[in-house]
Chain A
Amino acid sequence: RKEVEQDPGPFNVPEGATVAFNCTYSNSASQSFFWYRQDCRKEPKLLMSVYSSGNEDGRFTAQLNRASQYISLLIRDSKLSDSATYLCVVYNQGGKLIFGQGTELSVKP
């Protein structure tokens, strides 16, 4: 079983749509959780951290359920510029980030 698994995608949505990405992780001792964004296989960039209480940044909302080992990202009112690959990332003991395989999002006019 992969340490971090994401929806395979791709997601093709119209502008203005709401889209949700799901992610599960296998190591219950994982300490921190993030969503990264990657454009056209360039370097990944931190989108937001994920907290148990849930956190929101503009149109983006992230949720963590430690009991279910489940992480989600919700994007409201999708923009063309949101088209990218979204990476679910888990930070484990021993000091390394473990990346999911990514979910591709394509927002169409």
Chain B
Amino acid sequence: NAGVMQNPRHLVRRRGQEARLRCSPMKGHSHVYWYRQLPEEGLKFMVYLQKENIIDESGMPKERFSAEFPKEGPSILRIQQVVRGDSAAYFCASSPGWANEKLFFGSGTQLSVL
């Protein structure tokens, strides 16, 4: 009974490249959240998705960042033209339904931009 799976665990990109972070929610969960944790800071909400829908993207930077959760396959957080300031830990969490306060977190992806 796998938990929330994120890959890769570590991702190194050079400035200007694209980063794709993947998150497979727990079995039976249809809601996914992405959080970002910058060095020395707390977790900041980025986006909340349901299958094929973006519910709340109020925490997403206006440019270069996008997220999707297709009908089939994992949720993807995509960062285009990465900059050094994008270096952070990106955590995904899932829940079984709408507005369910019990979130299950993945182990995170550590993105390092050179």
For A45, list chain B residues within 8 Å (CB).
105
| A41→B65 CA distance, assembly (Å) | 22
For B105, list chain A residues within 8 Å (CB).
43-45
- The residue in chain A whose Cβ has the minimal distance to the Cβ of B99 is A95
Q: Is the CB of A97 within 8 A of B91?
A: no
Q: Is the CB of A98 within 8 A of B45?
A: yes
Cβ distance A14 to chain B, nearest Cβ, rounded Å: 25
- The residue in chain A whose Cβ has the minimal distance to the Cβ of B45 is A96
Chain A CB within 8 A of B37 CB: yes
| A101→B43 CA distance, assembly (Å) | 7
Cβ distance B63 to chain A, nearest Cβ, rounded Å: 22
Cβ distance A95 to chain B, nearest Cβ, rounded Å: 4
Cβ distance A2 to chain B, nearest Cβ, rounded Å: 9
Q: Tally chain A residues at the interface, Cβ within 8 Å.
A: 21
Q: Tally chain B residues at the interface, Cβ within 8 Å.
A: 25
For B35, list chain A residues within 8 Å (CB).
99
For B43, list chain A residues within 8 Å (CB).
44, 87, 99
Q: Which 4 A-B pairs have the closest CB atoms?
A: A95-B99, A101-B42, A43-B105, A99-B43
Interface residues of B (CB under 8 A from A): 31, 33, 35, 37, 41-45, 48, 55-56, 89, 91, 93, 98-103, 105-108
Interface residues of A (CB under 8 A from B): 31-32, 34, 41-46, 87, 91, 93-102
Give me 28 A-to-B residue pairs in the complex whose CB atoms sit less than 8 angstroms apart, sorted by A's number.
A31-B101, A32-B101, A41-B37, A41-B89, A43-B91, A43-B106, A43-B107, A45-B105, A91-B101, A93-B99, A94-B56, A95-B31, A95-B48, A95-B55, A95-B98, A95-B100, A96-B56, A97-B45, A97-B93, A97-B101, A97-B103, A98-B45, A99-B35, A99-B42, A99-B43, A99-B44, A101-B42, A102-B42
